[in-house]
Amino acid sequence: MPDDTLGDFTRRTISLEGEDKTVYVAGSGPAVVIMPEMPGISPDVLRFARWVRDAGFTVYVPSLFGVDGAYPTVELGDPIARKTCVSKEFRAFAGGGTSPVAVWLRALARLAHGESGGPGVGAVGMCFTGNFALTMTLEPAVIAPVINHPSLPLDDPAGLELSPEDATAIAARFERDDLRALAYRFDNDKWCTGQRFAAYAQLLGDRFDGRVLSGAHANPNPPPFFQEVVRTPHSVVTAHLVDEQGHPTLQARDEILAYLRTRLHPEPAA
C-alpha cells in the first residue's frame, strides 16, 4: 500500500494551550476528533477518518506522533514507538496517571465544537490513544467517546491510563450527563486484554459498552509494523479490518458510525 498524501484534507496548524500541532480537517457536520494509533496517521487510520467524514461529520485528525500518511513499516514504526513511550506528553506505563497531551486534545474538542456546531463532539481513540477518548470527556463538549483497543499502560494489562482524580471526575460526568462509551477489542489481543475492559466496566458500570470480536476475524495480512511488532490481532477498524460486506470488523465500523450519528445527529423531538 502506498503512502497517503492526505490531499483531500485541509492541513492546519492549531495553537492551543501554548503548543502548536498539525491537524488534518475534512468534511462537514458535527465534529469528530480521530486520534491516530501507533505508529502514526497511517493510510488505514485515514481510511477510517474518511468513512466518518462521509457519514456526515467534520473530522479533525491531530498529528501526535509519527510521519503523517506513511505506510507503517517496521523500520519507520519501531523507533517512533520507542520515542513516544518516553515522551513527556504521554504516560505509557503504570503509575504515570493521565497523559498531559489530553489537555491539548480537550482544547481541540472545544475548538472543533465551536467551529462545527451540533450538540457536541465525538472522540475516537485507537491503541496508544485509545484511552484519550475517555479522558477527553472531561471537556463538556465531548459527548460520544469511542475507545478502540486501548493499550496504555503498556506494563499493566488491568490498568487504566488515568489519575485517580480524573477517574472520579469522569465517572461522575458519565452519570450526570448520561454518557456511554463504546469500545472494541479482539479476544486474543495481547495489548488490550479482557482485564482492561473489566477495569473500564468497574469504573463506568453499564455505561461502558465493551464489544469483543474473535481474533480469528482479524485481517491476517496487516502492514509490516502490525505483523512484526504488534504481533497480535489488535486494530479492529484499521490495520486488522477486513473490508468485506458482512465481515465482523466492518460491522464494528458500522456500529461506530451509527453510535456517532445517534449522539451527534439526534432525531428531532416529535
Q: Which amino acid is at 173?
A: R
- pTM metric for this prediction: 0.96
Q: What SS3 state is found at 51?
A: helix
- Give residue 108's Cα distance to chain centre: 14
Q: Is the pLDDT of residue 249 over 60?
A: yes
Q: What digits encode the pLDDT tens for the residues 146-194?
A: 999 999 999 899 999 999 999 999 999 999 999 999 999 999 999 999 9
Give the single-character DSSP code of 4. Answer: P
Q: What digits encode the pLDDT tens for the residues 87-101?
A: 878 887 877 788 889
> What band does 261 get if pLDDT is binned at 50, 70 and 90?
very high
pLDDT on residue 268: 62
Q: What SS3 state is found at 257?
A: helix
> What band does 83 get if pLDDT is binned at 50, 70 and 90?
confident
Q: What digits encode the pLDDT tens for the residues 91-138?
A: 878 777 888 899 999 999 999 999 999 999 999 999 999 999 999 999
Residue 190 burial (CB count, 10 A): 14
pLDDT on residue 262: 96
Give the single-character DSSP code of 196. Answer: H
Q: Left if phi > 0, otherwise alpha if psi is -120 to 50, otherwise beta: which for 175?
A: alpha
In whole angstroms, give the CA distance from residue 76 to residue 97.
28
pLDDT on residue 254: 98
pLDDT on residue 181: 98
In whole angstroms, give the CA distance from residue 37 to residue 241.
14
In whole angstroms, give the CA distance from residue 78 to residue 62.
20
